[in-house]
Chains A and B, each alone.
Chain A
Amino acid sequence: MSREVTLIIDGREVTATEGEMLHDAATRGDVEIPVFCYEPKLGEPVGACRMCLVEVEGVPKLQTSCSTPVRDGMVVHTRTEQVKEAQSAVVEFLLVNHPLDCPVCDKGGECPLQDITMGWGPGKTRFTDDKRHFQKPLPLSPLVAIDRERCILCYRCVRFSQEVAEDEQLQLLERGDRTFVGTFDDRPYVAPFHGNITDLCPVGALTSYTYRFRARPWDIEQAGSVCTLCPSQCNVSFTVRDEEVKRVVARDNPDVDDGWLCDRGRYGFEMFGAEERVSAPRLRDGAPVEWPEAIAAAAEGLRRASEIDHTGGGSKSDASSRVAAIVGDASNEEGYLVQRIMREALGSPHVESRPSRGPSRGTLVQLSQPDLSARVRDIDDADAILVVGTDPLHTSPILDLRIRKAMRRNGAKLALATDRPTALDGGAEAATRYAPGEATLFLSELAACLRLGNEGSTAAPVAEILREAESVVIVWGERIGREGEEALTTLLDVAEALDLAGKDGSGLLEVPELTNARGLREAGCLPDAGPGFSESTPGKSTEEIRAALESGELKSVVLFGVDPLRDFPDTEAWKRALAAADHLVVFSTFENATTAMADVVLPLETHAEKDGTVTHPDGRLQRVRPSASRPGDIRPNWGVLAELALALGHDTGIASQPSALAALTEAVPFYSGIDDAVISGRGIRWQDRDAASSFPEAGPAVPAASGTSGAPSPDTQPKASGEGAPLVLGTYRDLWAGPITELNPPLKFLAPQQRIEVSLADAERLALRNGEQVEVAQNGTTVLAKVAITERIQEGVCFLIEGTAEANANALLNGGPVAVEISKLGGGPA
């Protein structure tokens, strides 16, 4: 299919693949053809701007190189008089209505229109009449300003909205010389990916309010790094002025993000300088202290806690140890160092990186087998995609665009199986809803369907799509693991029934709850596995740590980049647990409810300041590079951890970031040999290297849920029937829930208010009106929420948002299935 053809462009012989556009072939042959509207990321070319006209021998009229496919033996000229005249005319036309306000335009200095006018334009215009006038600038959204006079109508933003994000809000309104860009109903363009249009705009028509008049291209430096605000780990470039981040733009990496960013990653940087930022170490309720004092205090408390009634000591981990650590927002090196402090300096096996619990080592090893992991790119070419137990839009937004692209451009079939309706429902061939906490049930039905062809089952439509497909990518949410080990063993069963491991371009792709979940697991932040999934003394899972703190079995806990009081299930129990701890060491970026209870608070770096590596859910190691200066008295986290280890009498031998990475790659056999040069700008998948062969062998089938996970038995498994029956509660983490909107002035308007989503039938049964405030109660705990009657939601089920500032749904969770009562404010039961 991909036949090679040879053509001649300006006398150079260029080899191209058949079907490729002339412009792309020319670029590879080092011939520059100017463009405005052409952007391969947007899909099919439109040929609107006419800038890329070239002469093709044998064709009488000039052709647009962006929309002319290459042919074998084609002879193309891009610098003839005819072409030059045409290009000069096009520039003149584009400038007819373009204001010459470059000195006050934000795009000035990095503007394709400026550059192309200089390179290919006539230099002066013969146009002496009045230009088009619009009111300007107008807010297209609260984050993007539109200047319609500067617009050259290249369609890029409109194509993005229509064909990539598929929110279909942007339109070209009016016709001919009155055409302008706007939303169809003139309301603000609010969508999770809309910031991309400011990157796409080739003129200064679309600019970010967060960057307007902040800097000029000659004031700034671009610093390539990786965004760690969600598991997508998009490649970004920070625009830095005076050592502060002023803007975030996409850095194209087709293997990771396809060149797009979500608004979370693009505008999230404003919180780096928030007042709530922890900018120096401090002790309980105290003012900032010097580093040596803080580290000594942290070490002293940990040592004291681990020594009480504890004679074991030494380097061997001991399950009776009284200290624990939970890691969250951390790089691979940081995770590695925390588990080393725990296991080697304090002799404790209690290291965890999951919000509640997760599968055992054996199951994880099976799930992470190199031949079973799909690349992000595999989604593009998959025949069928199954999304289980996650809504990519909220958890890993860029995957949402990836899946849309696969459907739109390559005709991939999408099957969905989730508890809550997702943003992808509209394009799915089959969308199955299961009740919250019943993913396991669905997966076992699916496996049975695939093996036995059971027609009547609820999983039958999904099974049919998967069975017909040559290549299948299963995008699964780590959340299903909260149901217990069995959810993942049945997932493995489905993968085996489809033979995903044996087929090229097929596999599993996880959407984890934490940005660097995979990296932390591989670095050894697991209660039953050390670095590289090596076997180790079993320790406690996160919920076991909580219970042990509460009962006094554990005395001290190190929280590294986690905020249990916001992010973990069962808020009240966590409050009791943290209050019961003798010594609480919290590493945190921002002050929050958890740091308020800490004995020692140590500041964390943001991803603009950090130096370290992270591992993408598909196994790609990427490097987070320090781009901006650390505010206040913040120090590199790897150094703080190394010093803490030293204060505890354990010399890690780590004296720099490269040595931390070297220690990590030495400890993780399948990372062996990876260094900064290997990771380079685009990252490297460890599965693609020879060292991958040292990945642990998958053991025999893992026995279902061992005693350690200790799932609370479902005391309530209600069926919604009859008056006043409780509803089964499902929760999800909203894209905008958390500090990202609360500490970020430009994003504040997006902060989600707690809402309870119910089906129409339940709303009628309980006499609930849309928008009314209700109390949602579970076992004595209540939260306030607004009723949102939602289509496509199952009867007997309701949904709340986790991680909101107020009325956080985590308060109602307790690790098992939960049913809630809804009552109207000021009245009895609804």
Chain B
Amino acid sequence: TNWTVKMLERVVRGEATPMDLDIVASVQENIIGHCLCVLGDSMAMPVGAMVRKFRQEFENVMAAAETSRIAAVQGAPETLGAAT
């Protein structure tokens, strides 16, 4: 769960690559049915399904976030971080 959260945060910040989405999907598969705590299953099922069914949306978010992040880095330094 901790790993998934960290990866999704990177997706939102625009620091992720399409490969990360593959890892997110694979991690969810590895969690389901293998973990003692039900938090694992209850997170992995919806997150896994979202990545599988709405992958395009994730990629759009990533692309948009990345563009604004790069713009922020190239633009005025004082706006750094505010862009996300």
Chain A residues with CB under 8 Å of chain B are 46-48, 50, 53, 61-62, 85-86, 89-90, 92-93, 96-97, 126-127, 129-130, 132, 176-177
Contact = CB atoms under 8 A, between A and B. Distances in A.
Contacts of A96: 2-3
A92 B36 CA distance: 16
Interface stretch (B27-35, B54-62, B75-83): B27-35
Contacts of B34: 50, 53, 62, 86, 89-90
Contacts of B2: 96-97, 132, 176-177
Contacts of A97: 2
Given A129-B10, A130-B6, A62 B1 contact: no
The winner among B2, B37, B39 for most chain A CB atoms within 10 A is B2
A303 B2 CA distance: 80
Contacts of A126: 23
A176 B1 contact: yes
Given A50-B36, A129-B10, A92 B23 contact: no
Contacts of A50: 34-36
Contact of B30 (A86, A129, A177): A86
Contact of A129 (B7, B31, B36, B37): B7
B28 to A, nearest CB: 11
Main secondary structure of the interface of B (DSSP, over half): helix
20 contacts: A47-B36, A48-B36, A50-B34, A50-B35, A62-B33, A86-B30, A86-B34, A89-B30, A89-B34, A90-B34, A92-B30, A93-B30, A126-B23, A129-B7, A130-B6, A132-B2, A176-B1, A176-B37, A176-B39, A177-B2
The winner among B6, B7, B34 for most chain A CB atoms within 10 A is B34
Interface string B18-55: 00000100000011011111010000000000000000
The winner among B3, B30, B37 for most chain A CB atoms within 10 A is B3
Contacts of B1: 176-177
B32 to A, nearest CB: 9
B14 to A, nearest CB: 15
The winner among A47, A85, A86, A89 for most chain B CB atoms within 10 A is A89
Contacts of A90: 34
A175 to B, nearest CB: 9
The winner among A62, A97, A177 for most chain B CB atoms within 10 A is A177
Contacts of B33: 61-62
Contacts of A86: 30, 34
B23 to A, nearest CB: 5
A86 B26 CA distance: 11
A129 B54 CA distance: 24
Contacts of B39: 176
Contact of B3 (A46, A53, A129): A129
B35 A129 contact: no
A25 to B, nearest CB: 22
A318 to B, nearest CB: 74
A42 B7 CA distance: 37
A129 B23 contact: no
A53 B1 CA distance: 20
A50 B36 CA distance: 7
Nearest to B30: A89
A50 B7 CA distance: 23
B8 to A, nearest CB: 11
A43 B13 CA distance: 47
A125 to B, nearest CB: 10
Contacts of B37: 176
A565 B6 CA distance: 66
Contacts of A130: 6
A93 B31 CA distance: 9
Given A89-B30, A92-B30, A127 B36 contact: no
The winner among A50, A53, A61, A132 for most chain B CB atoms within 10 A is A50
